[in-house]
Every structure is written in structure tokens, then in C-alpha cells.
């Protein structure tokens, strides 16, 4: 079984850090404009969730390149051609 690459393992951390940075910007902007820490915390939380969901949806919508598509197509097969493939549901 192939182990995922370092880039594949760090992708969720990358999304969390980017979401945290953008939501921190929103929270600080609200805090500096309203001087209400509770409202700033609410906006921080909402922005964190929204940015995280949007970034995850963008990462799911990216079309795989040729190497990734080849890996998806050949995943679990040894290339001999004599595997019995199950029929679709």
C-alpha cells in the first residue's frame, strides 16, 4: 500500500491555517470597528467555518491532472488485466 505524500498529508493543515488567518482578519476588523469582543468572537467563528467550507469545496472541484487521473484509474490493480471487476450498482 502506498503511503500518501507529505503534501497530501499536510493539505488539511494548510486549509485550517488559511481559514484561521482569514477569520482572524475578520475578527480583528470587527473588534477594531465595534470594540465589542463578543461580536468579534462570533464573526471570527462564522468566518472560520465559512472560509473552511468554501476552501474545501474549491479543493474538491479541481480537476485532476493526467498523472492523478492515471493513479485514480489504476488504483488497486496490478496491471495484468485479469482482475475480475465488479459490476456497477
Backbone Cα Rg of the chain? 21
Q: What is the pLDDT of residues 5-58, one digit of tens each?
A: 887 788 889 999 999 999 999 999 999 999 999 999 999 999 999 999 999 999
Cα separation, 55 vs 31, in Å, equals 24
What are the residue boundaries of the structural domains of the chain, listed by start?
20-62
Q: pTM for this one? A: 0.69
Cα separation, 1 vs 4, in Å, equals 9
Do residues 36 and 27 touch, judged by C-beta distance below 8 A?
no
Q: What is the pLDDT of residues 3-20, one digit of tens each?
A: 878 877 888 899 999 999
pLDDT of residue 31: 98
Residue predicted with more confidence, 31 or 72: 31
Amino acid at each position: 500500500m502506498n503511503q500518501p505524500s507529505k503534501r497530501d498529508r499536510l493539505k488539511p493543515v494548510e486549509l485550517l491555517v488559511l481559514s484561521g488567518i482569514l477569520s482572524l482578519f475578520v475578527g480583528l476588523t470587527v473588534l477594531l470597528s465595534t470594540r465589542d469582543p463578543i461580536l468579534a468572537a462570533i464573526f471570527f467563528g462564522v468566518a472560520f467555518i465559512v472560509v473552511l467550507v468554501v476552501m474545501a469545496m474549491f479543493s474538491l472541484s479541481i480537476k485532476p491532472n493526467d498523472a492523478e487521473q492515471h493513479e485514480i484509474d489504476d488504483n488497486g490493480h496490478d496491471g495484468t488485466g485479469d482482475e475480475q471487476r465488479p459490476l456497477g450498482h
